Amino acid sequence: MTAPITVHRPSASGGRRVSVRTAGLDTDLGVAYSDADVEEFLRRAGLPEGVSLLDDPTWVDWSGDRGWDAGRH
């Protein structure tokens, strides 16, 4: 099974698009610049335990590596 949440590769600005797949459709949740941003998007999507999901590959697929480009914030 594929993880329903994807944190995409960093863009040129350092932000990472976050999307969720439900019923076969991808919905963009926003562009994140930190774990806190991803957690907030997940909270708004109805997943208040977002912080505990970030390192769970059954929930979140990190395209590329798990890190953030700290120099671009």
Which one, of 4, 2, 7, 5, lies nearest residue 17 by Cα?
7
CA quadruple 46, 51, 56, 60: dihedral sign = positive
Query: Per residue in 20-68, pLDDT tens?
Result: 998 889 999 999 999 999 999 999 988 877 778 888 999 999 998 887 7
Please tell me the pTM assigned to this model: 0.84
Judge whether 54 and 38 are in contact, CB under 8 Å.
yes
Q: What is the pLDDT of residue 71?
A: 44
Q: What is the pLDDT of residue 69?
A: 57
